[in-house]
Amino acid sequence: MRIFALNASRVFGGKLAFALGVPIDEHEERDFEDGEHKARPLVSVRGEDVYVLQQLNGSARESVNDKLCKLLFFIACCREGGASRVTAVVPYLAYARKDRQTKARDPVTTRYVAQLFEAAGTDQVMTLDVHNIAAFQNAFRCRTIHLSAKELFADVIARKAAGGPVAILSPDGGGIKRAQLLKEAYERLSGAPAGFGFMEKRRSRGVVSGELFAGEVEDATVFILDDMISTGGTMLRAAEACRQRGAKAVYAMATHGLFSKGAEAMLAHPAVDGTIVTDSIAPFRLPEQRLRSCVEVVPSAPLVAEAIRRLAFGGSITELLGDDD
C-alpha cells in the first residue's frame, strides 16, 4: 500500500498517517513560472494499492481548479507507473453542488468531474458527506465510497446536550435524510430520544424564501445539520427560526466549513451558540481568533484512515458506518 498526501493537504495527511500507523510516501510537486505544474511519486508504485489525498477546497494560495488538476495528473502518473489500483481520497469533493440542471443549458458539473476522474484512471473515489449522495453515486462509473460524519457528530451532541432534550433540524428539505440518520446515530449512542424538524427553503436567482417550519424545538438544545457552511445564511435563517420557537440553545453543525464571505456574521450572531465542523477543509477561511472562539473542529482523519485500512485489507465499510441494518 502507498499513501500520498499532495502538498495542500499535508496537515490532514499527517493526521491520516498517525491514525494508520504508517508514513506518508514521498512525492514531488513543482510549480513553473508560466503557471503549469507537475507532480510525481518518489517511490515505486508498480503493483501497489495507491491512495492519494487531496482536499478540494479553494484557498488564497490555490484555486479548486489547481488542486483538482494536480490530483488528476498525479493519479494518471501513478497509473503510468504501474499502480494496480488508485483511490482518490477527497474528504471535500468540489463541484458536488451542481448536480442537476436548474436553468436552461445549465451544466451538470458533478458528472463532468466524475468523467475527469475516470479518464485519469481512478479506480475508486472516497469522500465525506457529499452534497447529494445519489447524484454522487450515479455520476461515477468507478466505485464510490461515501463516508458519513454522523457518528462523530453524535458524540458531540451527547456531550453538549448533557442529558437534556435534543432536537436535530435540517435547514432545508434536501437534508432531511442526513438529519434523520444523525438522529438515529445519536439515539443509538445515548439511548435517549431526539426531536426532529426541518425548514422549507427555496432559492431562485440568489433569493431564499420559504416559511414552513416542521418540528418541536421549545426548551431543546437544537443542532442544525447541513453538509457544508458557506456564507452561513441558511444556518442563520434556521437558527433564528429556532430561537423564535423557544429553543434553549442552537448549534450550527456541518461536515465542511467552507466559511465564504459573510460567514463571520453567522458565527458571531447571538442566535447561534456555537458552530461545529470537521477538519475536511484546509485551511479555513477565517481569522485564527474567530476560529478559536466560535468553531469546534471535530477530527475526521481517524474515520478516513479506518476506511482506507478496510479498503486495503478487505474490511467492511458498511459496518464502519453503522449502516448494516
pLDDT value at 205 more than 70: no
Residue 136 · residue 110 · CB < 8 Å:
yes
157 band by pLDDT with thresholds 50, 70 and 90: very high
CATH class name, domain 2-148+302-320: alpha beta
The model's pLDDT over 61-93, given as tens digits with 9 standing for 90+, comes to: 899 999 999 999 999 999 999 999 999 999 999
Q: Which of 98, 160, 201, 248 does the annotation list as catalytic? A: 201
Which position has the grid cell 437534556? 164
What pLDDT is stored for residue 170 in this prediction?
A: 96
The pairing of strands 213-214 and 195-199 is: antiparallel
Residue 128 · residue 301 · CB < 8 Å:
no
The model's pLDDT over 110-147, given as tens digits with 9 standing for 90+, comes to: 999 999 999 999 999 999 999 999 999 999 999 999 99
**What is the C-alpha separation between 226 and 174, in angstroms, rounded?**
9
**What is the C-alpha separation between 179 and 167, in angstroms, rounded?**
10
**What is the C-alpha separation between 234 and 97, in angstroms, rounded?**
15
Domain boundaries, the chain: 2-148+302-320, 150-298
CATH of domain 150-298: 3.40.50.2020
In CATH terms, are 2-148+302-320 and 150-298 the same topology? Answer: yes
DSSP 7: G
Among 148, 97, 82, 87, CA closest to 117:
87
pLDDT value at 247 more than 80: yes
201 catalytic? Reply is: yes
Query: How confident is the model over 18-38, as a mean pLDDT?
Result: 95
Most confident of 52-61, 113-122, 197-206: 113-122
